[in-house]
Structure 1
Amino acid sequence: MSYDLAVWEGVQPGDDGEGGVVYERLYEEYMEGEERVPTPSILAYAEALAERWAVMTEGRSSGWGSLLDDASGPMIYLTMPDGLAGKLSAEAARLADRHGLVCYDPQSEHLRPVHDD
């Protein structure tokens, strides 16, 4: 099993419903459509996330493979191992916020808020 998150550039949606609409549109255009070069913001986010992942998992960076394999244009789709999803998804949401990106959980259909623990 895995846990998925979608992260994208854009204005923070006002609520989960709006987030779902934006997610569906972007996923269809960028993940199911023609692959595009990731934007500089997505590249910077993926780099920062890969660094954090390596620290949090003591170098086991192979859990996600290449993050950029699932990045296209202004969107990246993250699939993480279920056993590590709690900590990793929280860090992914924090980093998205720091990079001015939107983080959305497509399984529960909720925007992923940042929790400072």
Structure 2
Amino acid sequence: MSYDLAVWEGERPDGDAAARVVFTDLHGEFMGGRGVEPTARIRTFVEALVARWPDLSPDDEDEDASPWSDGPLIRNASGPLFYFGMVFSRYQEAASYAVDVARSSGLICFDPQDGRLLT
């Protein structure tokens, strides 16, 4: 089981309902497997996450070394959107850090499970 977050570049939506619309639109446009290169700000955000906890490789056996649910983490980034998962047992610490980094980077952080803005 995993816990997912979405982080993107752009104007801050006016509330949770607007954020759900923005997320749905961005996800439909950028996460359809087209392989759009992540923007520089999104790439920097991902680099901050993997600097804190190691990235996973496809053959990684030490599941407890990282809170990420898959890897390499950058594969979950496309254009201005980064949509990633954390293992449920470690999501609180990792999500808290991700929200802080997003906030300090001027990025939008959204919880798709609860449908609410976090930054």
Report TM bin, short chain: 0.7 to 0.9
Q: Does 1:86 align with 2:92?
A: yes
How far apart, CA to CA, are the structure 2 residues paired with 1:71 and 1:15? 24
TM-score, normalised to structure 1, is 0.86
Q: Which residue in the other structure is 1:50 paired with?
A: 50
How far apart, CA to CA, are the structure 1 residues paired with 2:72 and 2:33? 20
SS at 1:25 equivalent? helix
Indicate the larger mover: 88-97 or 26-35: 26-35
In structure 1, runs of 5+ residues without a counterpart are none
SS at 2:53 equivalent? helix
Q: Which residue in the other structure is 1:7 paired with?
A: 7
Q: Tell me the CA shift for residue 62 of structure 1.
A: 7.5
How far apart, CA to CA, are the structure 2 residues paired with 1:98 and 1:67? 20
Q: Which runs of 4+ in 1 moved over 6 A?
A: none
Q: Tell me the CA shift for residue 112 of structure 1.
A: 1.3
RMSD between superposed Cα atoms in Å = 1.6
Amino acid at match of 2:102: A
SS at 1:36 equivalent? coil
Q: Does 1:17 align with 2:23?
A: no
In structure 2, runs of 5+ residues without a counterpart are 55-63
Q: How does 1:28-39 map to 2 (within 5 A)?
A: 28-32=28-32, 34-39=34-39
Q: Which residue in the other structure is 1:60 paired with?
A: 65
Number of aligned pairs?
109
Amino acid at match of 2:115: E
How far apart, CA to CA, are the structure 2 residues paired with 1:45 and 1:93? 11
How far apart, CA to CA, are the structure 1 residues paired with 2:90 and 2:66? 12
Q: Does 1:95 align with 2:64?
A: no
The structure where helix makes up a greater share of residues is 1
